[in-house]
Chain A
Amino acid sequence: MHKIADIEIQHDIMVANKKLARRNQKIFDKANTFSIDVLGAIGSGKTSLIETLIQKMDYKIGVIAGDVISKFDAGRIERYNVPVVGLNTGKECHLDAHLVEHALPDLPLKDIDLLFIENVGNLICPVDFDLGSHIRMVVISVTEGDDTAEKHPLIFKDADLVIINKVDIADAVGADSDKMVADVKEINPDINVIKSSLKTGEGLDEIISAIDGFIKDR
């Protein structure tokens, strides 16, 4: 004989990821490591910004460099003699808390004050996946078009700090960087939005002092 049963599962995959993320954050807190999820479009300057900050900031910095199938970004960071783990997602378009958890044993967290977790270049998929970082920094640039923010509101709604990069070439690509700032502020009124150019150095001091502020306020 057979019988039919209705079974409540109520297993939310987003909630499961969030639990793992909280566990990651506890690991960071225990090691006294401040962690930043660096999100942004492909080619917006995420890796370049991390390279610059490694050189300019007085913290012991470590990096998790997420990429789909290459170790190019990790290779770039290695040149600065800081601890780095390359994290390949395979076919996936984002990092998740579980992947980050697996990278943590390969990092000397006790010797890292500030950990950058460079996400896969993508303004859509990573939004759904909290990694357990203390803040989310979103890097976009004028070359993606000045409608980038209004087309991807959710990533800016969840962000703590937004960088609009490559403003030195805004005119050349016909983008209005002030519009991009205004669009982000429309979505997230209280957020700090910094216009930068890693070429000219514009905005760099502001980025550093914003990150310092987050670390002090932790």
Chain B
Amino acid sequence: MHELSMANAMVKTVLDVAEKNNATEILEVTIEVGQLTMLNPEQLKFLLDVLVENTLLEGSKINIEEVPVEIDCKTCNYEGLPNMDGSDHYLAIVRCPECGGRNLEITAGRECNVKTIKIEQEDDADASGSE
């Protein structure tokens, strides 16, 4: 159940950036979660909804985008999506869809990224604090 600590870290990141940018309101947050992370987007969304209560994030639209798994096959140099069959991620990281090779590097799908926020700010606020 590390959705809670991840959700906490995300809320903190967003609130820090919002404060630095003199946000009066946070309209939207976009978060990327890799399909291979051990995070369940539904649970994450639920916890975010709870954690944002009484913060500047309350009422904001939270978008969670799933990042597909990508592999790099060291045998045939195939780069791209593995064979994903729905919920089963076993084959995805085990066999190259092109040559069947097993020497694969996972190049995407393990992200947990606070990507962007859309905020409302005072007109004379300095937005240079953004990272």
Contact = CB atoms under 8 A, between A and B. Distances in A.
B94 A186 contact: yes
Nearest to B94: A187
A183 to B, nearest CB: 10
B43 interface: no
B111 to A, nearest CB: 6
Given A12-B111, A125-B38, A153-B94, A7 B2 contact: no
B119 A7 contact: yes
B79 to A, nearest CB: 18
A8 interface: yes
B63 interface: no
A1 B93 contact: no
B121 interface: yes
A124 B110 contact: no
A128 interface: yes
B46 to A, nearest CB: 16
Contacts of B93: 153-154, 157, 187
B113 A12 contact: yes
Contact of A9 (B27, B122, B131): B131
B118 interface: yes
A166 interface: no
Given A3-B121, A9-B14, A128-B112, 12 more contacts: A7-B116, A10-B114, A12-B113, A13-B6, A13-B112, A125-B38, A127-B38, A128-B37, A153-B89, A154-B89, A154-B93, A186-B94
Interface of A: 1-16, 91-94, 96, 124-125, 127-128, 150, 153-154, 157, 186-187, 189
23 contacts: A2-B120, A2-B123, A3-B122, A4-B27, A4-B120, A5-B121, A7-B21, A7-B116, A7-B117, A9-B131, A11-B113, A13-B114, A14-B111, A92-B2, A124-B38, A128-B37, A128-B39, A150-B90, A153-B93, A153-B94, A154-B36, A187-B93, A189-B102
The 9 A-B pairs with the shortest beta carbon distances in the complex, nearest first, are A1-B123, A12-B113, A7-B130, A13-B112, A11-B114, A125-B2, A9-B114, A11-B13, A14-B112
